[in-house]
Amino acid sequence: MIQSNSVFQSPTAPFWHLNKTLNPAREIPIISVNRRLSMKMQKAGFFLLFLCFTTLASAKAEVVVSGIEGSASIIRNGQTIAVEKGMKIQRNDTVKTESNGRLDIVLNNAAGLRVQPSSEIRLKQIKPKKIDIELVVGNIFANVKKLLKGSSFEVETGTAVMGVRGTKLSASHKNGKTTFAASEGQLKVKDKATGNTYDVSAGNAIDIGEGTTSEVRGTTTEESNDLNQTNELATESSSSGSENSTGNGKPVEGETTQGEFALWLVKQIGALDKLPPAALGQDAINFLFNLGIAPKDGKWDANAPITKEFLISLLDLSDEEANQLLSSPDGFSELLDKVVFVAETAFANSEAGASEAMIPPQNPTP
């Protein structure tokens, strides 16, 4: 006897099987909604798999030089290559900066890295979801966005390994001693000699290696100040491809900051050697201010974008000439050239004055 709620299932039915149920009122079979739901789920599953595969296929591991100051080089397959802004760094490349050099790098549009002067790093692993950096010697700063699940960012030295999921940090390795410090997020640090691991939270640091106690401590004032550099690090490459900092291209109106412009201007007049080795925009601003290059109100703002109005404030122009340049499509470029000329003249006069001051006075002819 067949019950009104009996379910028939074919022994060869697929996983989204067809169910038939007898309607107690009419005793005729109707197709269960299970089949329609199962078919929708199956299609959704295939669609999700398709998205996953296409995402993985389109994901790119890319490391790009986003800024350079002074001298730096890449050693690739035993050959030394001069670094240029926009250059791509490959796996196993060694990046070296000289005493006057500093390099900014964007990794996988997920992290910004600054290689300080007299430093050397090696890109051990560059994958869409895995970045491994070996700090051979020197100092680096990093700004790492919150990584997706399954992604990793590691820095290894001769004495320790550090991993993060998203943070701002500094790392140094000199004379067998490694120091990691964090200003945001948390670091997971492993002592390679003992195998011990340590959690280093924001505002703290740890020293590992020769002559250290391998204990988490608070950051020093100097470390905290240095960590402010991580705020300058971009985690994504510029989509416009414009050179808006200290590269070879001219600054961009409304994008380049006054600090970046100051560094660019000092470079144009050949005075980079007058700045500290790891000079920031404010260092360049101070140098230009001492040359007499300053807005009419005397105030620079390192983080504010440059505009035509700002460049005009650096020059001694008539109202008529200023208005013409403001309305001209090429006004920004013309203003840049004028500012460079004024800065070159001021720097030349400063150098000439310094040279004259060094010449000893001559005895008058009797």
Q: Which residues pair with 8 in a beta bridge?
A: 20
Together in a domain, 28 and 99:
no
Among 35, 58, 81, which residue terminates a domain? 58
Q: Residue with structure tokens 């009797």?
A: 366
The pLDDT tens digits for 162-205 are: 998 778 999 999 999 999 999 998 999 999 999 999 999 999 99
Together in a domain, 199 and 310:
no
Among 58, 80, 95, which residue terminates a domain? 58
Distance CA(98)–CA(137), nearest Å, equals 12
Together in a domain, 294 and 352:
yes
Together in a domain, 276 and 341:
yes
Start-to-end CA span in the chain (Å): 142
**pLDDT value at position 283?**
85
Together in a domain, 182 and 100:
yes
Together in a domain, 76 and 198:
yes
Does 19 fall in a domain? yes
Query: Higher model confidence: residue 282 or residue 336?
Result: 336
Together in a domain, 52 and 89:
no
CA geometry: angle 224, 230, 233, nearest 5 deg: 165
Q: Residue with structure tokens 């760094």?
A: 89
**Residue range of the domain that includes 153:** 63-232
Together in a domain, 215 and 277:
no
Average pLDDT over residues 322-348: 93
Together in a domain, 118 and 173:
yes
The pLDDT tens digits for 222-239 are: 999 889 888 878 777 654
Together in a domain, 45 and 79:
no
